[in-house]
């Protein structure tokens, strides 16, 4: 899986005279991805980015539900297929199916929907870059308070990404802490973590399509 995802990312970021292949258009264009500017974009975008998008949905649901299994992901797929006996599934159908099982931690600005993901990622073309900056850890009772900033580049305006942040303890063991919704070139955050947290990692499993 990792080999395939790395290959697809490389294909999307491959430079052409018209820019990186990812700029050819969103996956929703389908056959229209093939154009005079990007004559070979169909497979890298439709299959490459498309595979990444499904992988991102799967891993987001897994982390948001405790990181133990893909129960929510497969529940959404089964529900989607059961409601589509003719096997014709729209992008909106897909979004609704995943919204039915999404945990509260994936709700952007308190809205229980995945509009942010489908608008930014399914209907978008960006392959952004993210980096942690200015992380500060201070005691807060029996826990610690962590402040920091996520820097974002190569992203479209108004793009929203749920970046998984992991806490690292004194034994160098990491565990999922929270999602930070990055919606600006500079997104500040404040999180509460277990006592003994020594550091933070940004998406250590490379579950987000990024540079």
Half-sphere exposure for 169 (CA within 13 Å, toward CB):
11
Residue ranges covered by each domain of the chain: 2-122, 129-202
End-to-end, the C-alpha distance of the chain in Å comes to: 18
With b meaning 16 or more CB within 10 Å and e meaning fewer, what string describes 180-208?
Answer: bbbbbeebebebebeeebeebbbbeeebb
CA torsion, ordered 126, 122, 157, 19, to nearest 10 deg? 30
* Rounded distance between C-alpha atoms, residue 8 and residue 64, angstroms: 25
Kindly give the confidence (pLDDT) of every residue in the chain, 211 residues in length, as a single tens digit, with 9 standing for 90 and above.
999 999 999 999 999 999 999 999 999 999 999 999 999 999 999 999 999 999 999 999 999 999 889 999 999 999 998 988 787 899 999 999 999 999 999 999 999 999 999 999 999 999 999 999 999 999 999 999 999 999 999 999 999 999 999 999 999 999 999 999 999 999 999 999 999 999 999 999 999 999 9
């Amino acid at each position: 899986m990792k080999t395939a995802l790395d290959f697809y990312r490389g294909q999307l970021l491959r430079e052409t005279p018209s820019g990186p292949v990812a700029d050819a258009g969103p996956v929703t264009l389908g056959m229209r991805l093939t154009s005079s500017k990007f004559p070979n974009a169909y497979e890298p975008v439709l299959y490459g980015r498309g595979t990444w998008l499904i992988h991102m949905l799967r891993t987001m649901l897994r982390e948001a539900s405790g990181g133990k299994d893909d129960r929510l992901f497969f529940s959404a797929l089964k529900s989607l297929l059961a409601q589509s006996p003719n096997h014709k599934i729209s992008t909106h159908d897909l979004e609704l199916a995943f919204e039915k099982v999404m945990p509260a931690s994936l709700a952007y600005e308190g809205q229980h929907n995945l509009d942010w993901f489908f608008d930014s990622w399914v209907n978008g073309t960006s392959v952004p870059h993210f980096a942690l900056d200015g992380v500060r850890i201070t005691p807060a009772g029996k826990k610690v308070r962590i402040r920091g900033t996520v820097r974002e580049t190569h992203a479209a305006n108004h793009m929203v990404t749920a970046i998984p942040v992991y806490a690292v303890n004194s034994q160098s063991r990491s565990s999922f802490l929270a999602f930070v919704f990055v919606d600006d070139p500079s997104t500040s955050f404040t999180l509460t973590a277990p006592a003994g947290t020594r550091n933070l990692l940004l998406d250590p499993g490379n579950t987000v399509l990024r540079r």
